[in-house]
Structure 1
Amino acid sequence: MKENPQETTHFGYQTVDKEKKVSLVGGVFDSVAAKYDVMNDVMSFGIHRLWKRQTIDSSAARKGQRILDLAGGTGDLAARFSRIVGPEGQVVLADINASMLEVGRTKLQDMGIVGNVDYVQANAEELPFPDDHFDVITIAFGLRNVTDKDKALRSMLRVLKPGGRLLVLEFSKPEQELLNQAYDFYSFNILPQMGGLIANDKESYQYLAESIRMHPDQETLKNLMQAAGFENVDYQNMTGGIVALHRGFKF
């Protein structure tokens, strides 16, 4: 019987049934959750902090706003947003993975951040929030792990207020071929070894490297956001295009 392409998707370089991808990705993040922050610093040489700072700056978040940090993991963005919106505002740290969400909850509570942050286990494709609810939505290094990106983007648009903005921070396509070659070598030869040494999990970081390569490039993601209904979509390359910050509005 001929395989129905609508029922399969990518898990790294593998082709898997769509219904299996969520559990496979879940297994990856269950495995890496405890060492996630350490590996982020090691993998990016700390530069991920600058990428996230630019995301915060581009959000134009203000006191009293309601913000969704989707696929928020260990809460780097949520912690900063909590301070910006203050006690009158609300931050929702949402992640599909319970292990990552628990690491984020513990981390923020240890930082003394309580009161204006809620923690919700949620699938980006079917967000459990009302229409027109959030002023800002961010998703940092999470969209590439979503099974149906089109459905997820439409779900984000639905819960975003008119005038609100979505910010997608994600690994992307380096602008220069020499940088692209060097990045490939690093991703497939060094990164999995780091994962094995630091997180005792070489396989998960092999998947993460593959998932980056399978993610849409800058222009393709821009087109996906526009097709989902976002307007004035643009993007900013950072670190030579290794990472791109996409921004779109709901009007």
Structure 2
Amino acid sequence: MRQEHEINHSFGRESVNPTERRDRIRTVFTAVAPRYDLMNDLMSMGIHRLWKRRLARSVRDVQGQVIDLAGGTGDVARLLLAPGRQVTVCDPSLAMMQVGQQRPDMVGIHWLVGEAEQLPLTDTSVDLLTVSFGLRNATHLEQALAEIHRVLKPGGQFVCLEFSQPAFWLAPFYNLYSFLVIPRLGALVARAPIAYQYLVESIRRFPNQQGFADLMRQAGFTNIRWNNLSFGIACLHYGTRPQ
């Protein structure tokens, strides 16, 4: 498993202090907010939507307070809307949430500014917390997991959708696509090549499937499991706060 400082104290290929990393990441998401969803469609050829629907289907029986952490423009929160639920997007980027708030299909979603390492939520207040492609931007991953554990009710569920380690036969092609195509798409469409270079690097520095499961266990979660998506390019991680 990657060392903690390698995950959390880097920005792309640079080593930076935690405060600078946090500030740079916020600048990245402010820059890409208007075209973020379009870029996701182009980069994944639309497959990210299938992954997010898989997440939503897997928790369809959970009711109550639902937090979509790092929920950005609300695309996952929209999928989580259902009778018996109150769905809130919690994200540190006001620019990202403002893009979502302008969309007519976001009626019923609540919006809250907050970051993973210091959630603006009371203890044991959340029935379900989801996060999609957001935890790798946390500067202190272990602290973020501790916060998620804190705000979940006993028996509450945590689901993380994140890029992970693809199958060995796919990895060479995936790496070529990531490092050669994605930054160029970022330059052409989002006009932010540096931002998308960072996003590619951040994927490589996030723990693999077993590594993240180990961190969840250390944070106190139980019933830990994962499901690979698209041969491990992405992964759904599940955990429960014990009763």
Structure-1-length-normalised TM-score: 0.91
- Residue in 1 that maps onto 2:133: 141
The answer to whether structure 1 residue 183 and structure 2 residue 174 are counterparts is yes
Quick one: distance in 1 between partners of 2:151 and 2:59?
Answer: 16
- Residue in 1 that maps onto 2:69: 70
**CA deviation string 1:201-225 (max 9, x = no partner):** 1111111111111111111000001
Quick one: distance in 1 between partners of 2:164 and 2:192?
Answer: 24
8 A contact 1:174–1:241 mirrored in 2 = yes
- Residue in 2 that maps onto 1:220: 211
SS of corresponding position for 2:87: strand
8 A contact 1:40–1:48 mirrored in 2 = yes
The answer to whether structure 1 residue 12 and structure 2 residue 4 are counterparts is no
- Residue in 2 that maps onto 1:246: 237
Q: Which runs of 5+ in 1 are unaligned?
A: none
The answer to whether structure 1 residue 234 and structure 2 residue 234 are counterparts is no
Quick one: distance in 2 between partners of 1:171 and 1:123?
Answer: 20
SS of corresponding position for 2:56: helix
Shift of 1:103: 1.1
Over 4 Å off, 4+ runs: none
Shift of 1:74: 1.0
SS of corresponding position for 2:120: coil
- Residue in 2 that maps onto 1:92: 88
The amino acid across from 1:37 in the alignment is D
| 1:146-161 equivalences in 2 (<5 Å) | 146-161=138-153
Superposition RMSD in Å = 1.5
Shift of 1:61: 4.0
- Residue in 2 that maps onto 1:47: 47
8 A contact 1:31–1:201 mirrored in 2 = yes
SS of corresponding position for 2:123: coil
SS of corresponding position for 1:125: coil
Shift of 1:60: 3.4
Q: 2:118 aligns with which of 121, 126, 141?
A: 126
Shift of 1:117: 2.0
SS of corresponding position for 2:72: coil
The amino acid across from 2:100 in the alignment is G
8 A contact 1:61–1:81 mirrored in 2 = no
The amino acid across from 1:147 in the alignment is T
Quick one: distance in 2 between partners of 1:117 and 1:37?
Answer: 18
- Residue in 1 that maps onto 2:37: 37
SS of corresponding position for 2:49: helix
Quick one: distance in 2 between partners of 1:61 and 1:146?
Answer: 28
**CA deviation string 1:136-188 (max 9, x = no partner):** 10000000010001000010011111111100100000122x31111110011
Shift of 1:89: 2.7
Structure-2-length-normalised TM-score: 0.94
Structure with greater contact order relative to length (CA < 8 Å, sep ≥ 6): 2
Quick one: distance in 2 between partners of 1:19 and 1:203?
Answer: 19
Instruction: Using the aligned pairs only, state the percent identity.
Output: 41
Quick one: distance in 1 between partners of 2:79 and 2:239?
Answer: 21
The answer to whether structure 1 residue 101 and structure 2 residue 100 are counterparts is no
The amino acid across from 2:190 in the alignment is A
